[in-house]
Structure 1
């Protein structure tokens, strides 16, 4: 294939070649899920965030946090970065730190899938695994497990003089989706959208997308998706903290990123519903996604089958099914 010879002469590379993997983050495609919605009155659209370099929507957050911290001087050249993660933010930060030259320490619960920890380590980061709380279930991260990880992350941050990216509190988490994911969804749908639903981890994606969409059309309805049995945002008591949907549902009712966000409702899905939807995505749509993608699709289908029949609903596909091969998602 012939390329632009003059461009090569000037830069040594062909036009269209990106400077780094960080520049490949975002602008993910949106697809119709017509096979999953066969027989359902309405349209379901999925934004394929698992096609980001680190395999998840958290790549956007990691890039934004590191770049902003460098710009403000909060992160010094060569300074270590530490983060609590269930895996996806850790992979994104491992990429961002590799490109920008910062050592990175990811602190995970042993309840996270082994694929996540191995991927982060393969990307050059140091991985610290924290034992689960008494009574926890292997392969499932509870709020109690996360509290132990948080404690360890704070100790490591202090002992190493590190920068803590702090995805649960850092407002650049929301900004990454407010300036990126949300406007992309609006542009890709041409504004012809009735609703958006997202499984809540830190709440950054739901908050950023909700604000971006409602600024453009306040009639778009935005919903928080939670695991049944751990739906604290909806005001329910926690009776199943060991649900299988990794990356969220930690039982934290007061999430900083969701304060004052104009949500329109709360949806609950079971682990089995999320599992079935993830498998449908794989076998009917060729989209190999994780547990939270299944939760999003299951919640969106509920909307289309009930209060939003005939509507157009968008979701994100947060991460790849490759990160769950050791779990019961694919058994």
Structure 2
């Protein structure tokens, strides 16, 4: 009989499928290793089983014990699946930006989920990793799997994923493309393929543009379970021991928009419902293949299913809210309204004196109003002047800061963090202008933040939104179509500034 003695015996041996439509025009074949076809739905099934078996063998995890892990979801699912099959309790800490689908799956397996605030420096005791360590230390019989530094993580891929790809391609694979999260997949698989091919296989890391791994500044991004973020106030941010940088020959850096839209293309053009990090990896694989010939063969690891991201990557409303979808020309959108560049953001740790000095400096395009809101985040504006929308903690105004000084409510050396007001409402460039206008009127707010590709892009006044709506209505009354803005280029902003510089 063709059966498995247990569920864990079904881990691995996932299919390798050639991509056909998204690769149109390329002369190099690209094959996707569909890790979401495993029993737990992701590449993390392999690492989870490997880590549990190694802990059992070492006596670190005993019958009736508790598995504890800090995870973005997929490793937790793999561990929860193994725990259910073997009778272990499990507790997982997850950042609050984790998709609702992943949390629901973990709870379906009977796991206890502890949601931790994201956007914290690594040293903060509430950080997801520190919370996991604390729970493991305080729980009798607990074992902290620690996927980031556990050698059984890359070992799983050296033992299974690499040999499978080598066998499935008859040794013809020339390039491996994989995202780097904990580093286990790219390290273990890459090491095996390099060894099996005598060094002929090139290993390419697919990485978010902002990820520290490939030289980014570590700002937050919107694709889950990939890359390495560095909080502005983190003192030390060590790379995982599961990741061996020498294995990766080079990186392809992929922006959020390209990652998310590639994931959606996979579903709509290939029938492959995959997550955002798969979009990152496939986008990187397409770039790699574009520079190769028919004698080459690219394999890209598709780490998990889009079913984990139906409320995010595959939801038009979520994408539009964060500025990843533009208008379609049927009605005016926020990006059609005349906008102004935002005042450079402040750091939450800036003093009132420093903040006022910054705001008093003349700058082209900066509004002169003393009550103009200035956004505040832990990092302030990054080196390129951009602030990720999810980083925003609040806002201040020059008038408000001076009033606080004059009244004695604040001193000049106080951090502006203590004086924050809520940030202005935020809308994606592709959200309907009429909807944004109605929201501002309901809140009696005069100004809103315009979000493009997840970043603070501009500020727009209520009057400008009203003008865009009136203009569209007048055009429709005259029988004219609403003019469509070019892709990714909101109205009122020069083309060179459309993506933040």
TM (norm. structure 1) is: 0.88
Against the structure 1 CA distance between its residues 262 and 249, is the aligned structure 2 distance closer, same or farther, given a 3 Å change threshold? closer
Tell me, yes or no, if the aligned pair for 1:109 and 1:145 is still in contact at 8 Å: no
Against the structure 1 CA distance between its residues 51 and 158, is the aligned structure 2 distance closer, same or farther, given a 3 Å change threshold? same
The Cα shift of 1:317 comes to 1.0
Against the structure 1 CA distance between its residues 260 and 227, is the aligned structure 2 distance closer, same or farther, given a 3 Å change threshold? closer
> Residues 209-228 of structure 1: matches in 2 within 5 Å?
209-217=189-197, 218-228=199-209
Q: SS where residue 213 of structure 2 aligns? A: coil
Residue 145 (structure 2) pairs with residue 160 (structure 1):
no
Q: SS where residue 28 of structure 1 aligns? A: coil
CA offset digits 1:88-141 (Å, max 9, x no partner)? 00000000001111101111111100100110110111111112236xxxxxxx
Question: Residue in 2 aligned with 1:151?
Answer: 130
Q: SS where residue 90 of structure 1 aligns? A: helix
Question: Residue in 1 aligned with 2:114?
Answer: 128
Tell me, yes or no, if the aligned pair for 2:89 and 2:111 is still in contact at 8 Å: yes
For the pair shown, which has the larger CA radius of gyration, 1 or 2?
2
Against the structure 1 CA distance between its residues 225 and 196, is the aligned structure 2 distance closer, same or farther, given a 3 Å change threshold? same
CA offset digits 1:30-89 (Å, max 9, x no partner)? 010022111112110001100111110000111111111112211111111100010000
Against the structure 1 CA distance between its residues 143 and 283, is the aligned structure 2 distance closer, same or farther, given a 3 Å change threshold? farther
Tell me, yes or no, if the aligned pair for 1:211 and 1:261 is still in contact at 8 Å: no
Residue 290 (structure 2) pairs with residue 305 (structure 1):
yes
Residue 160 (structure 2) pairs with residue 173 (structure 1):
no
Aligned equivalents of 1:149, 1:23: Cα separation in 2: 31
Tell me, yes or no, if the aligned pair for 1:143 and 1:250 is still in contact at 8 Å: no
Question: Residue in 2 aligned with 1:5?
Answer: none
Aligned equivalents of 1:143, 1:302: Cα separation in 2: 33
Work out which of the residue numbers 35, 44, 50 in structure 1 matches 2:36.
50
Residue 97 (structure 2) pairs with residue 111 (structure 1):
yes
Work out which of the residue numbers 205, 220, 225 in structure 2 matches 1:247.
225
Q: Which structure would you say has the larger RCO, counting Cα contacts within 8 Å and 6 or more residues apart?
A: 1
Aligned residues: 306
Work out which of the residue numbers 78, 84, 99 in structure 1 matches 2:70.
84
Tell me, yes or no, if the aligned pair for 2:275 and 2:313 is still in contact at 8 Å: no
Runs of 4+ in 1 over 6 A off after TM superposition: 142-147
Tell me, yes or no, if the aligned pair for 1:59 and 1:89 is still in contact at 8 Å: yes
CA offset digits 1:246-302 (Å, max 9, x no partner)? 002223562312236332111100111111211111111111000111111000101
Q: SS where residue 127 of structure 2 aligns? A: helix
Q: CA RMSD in A?
A: 1.8
Aligned equivalents of 1:264, 1:175: Cα separation in 2: 20
Unaligned runs of 5+ in 2: 230-236, 317-501
CA offset digits 1:178-214 (Å, max 9, x no partner)? 0000100000000111101111110000000111100
Tell me, yes or no, if the aligned pair for 2:182 and 2:242 is still in contact at 8 Å: yes
TM (norm. structure 2) is: 0.59
> Residues 161-310 of structure 1: matches in 2 within 5 Å?
161=140, 162-217=142-197, 218-230=199-211, 232-238=212-218, 241-251=219-229, 254-259=239-244, 261-306=246-291, 308-310=292-294
Larger fraction in helix: 1
Q: SS where residue 98 of structure 2 aligns? A: coil
Question: Residue in 2 aligned with 1:4?
Answer: none
